[in-house]
Amino acid sequence: MTELRLELKEKIIEQLNLEEFTVADIADDDALFGNGLGLDSIDALELIVMLDKDYGIQLTDPKEGKEIFKSIAVLADYIADNRGK
């Protein structure tokens, strides 16, 4: 699980162009949206694409995304339980 959390932090920094962040800046329980990393709605869509492309998970319910993208820890748990790749 620690590896997956690290992998997600690296992917998020790279794919969402968070140039001002390093992996060490993101705590497992930091909020990804709002006051945390400050991600926006386009980032949310990009995360949905990432789940599909890299982990074979297709989100169909937007409400589901709101809960899943709460933090790295929550996202990693969801991926571990649902991944198809």
Partner 1 sequence: MEKTHHISSYCHIKDSRVSLNGNTLFISAIAEFSAFIKSASQHLETKYSKFYKMDNLSKMAFLASDVVLNHAKLPSDKENNIAILLSNRASSLDTDRKYQDSISEADNFFPSPSVFVYTLPNICIGEISIKHQLHSENCFFIFDTFDANHLWLHAESLLKSKKAEKVLCGWVDFDENNYEAFIYLVEENGTIAHSPNEIKRLYKS
Task: Name the nearest CA neighbour of 54 among 64, 43, 44, 46.
Answer: 46
Query: Does 18 contact partner 1 by CB under 8 A?
Result: yes
Residue 39's SS3 state is strand
Query: Does 38 contact partner 1 by CB under 8 A?
Result: yes
Query: Does 20 contact partner 1 by CB under 8 A?
Result: yes
C-beta of residue 37 within 8 angstroms of C-beta of residue 31: yes
Pick out residues in 54-73 that bind partner 1 (CB under 8 A).
none
Residues at the interface with partner 1 (CB under 8 A)? 16-20, 38, 42-43, 45-46, 49, 52-53
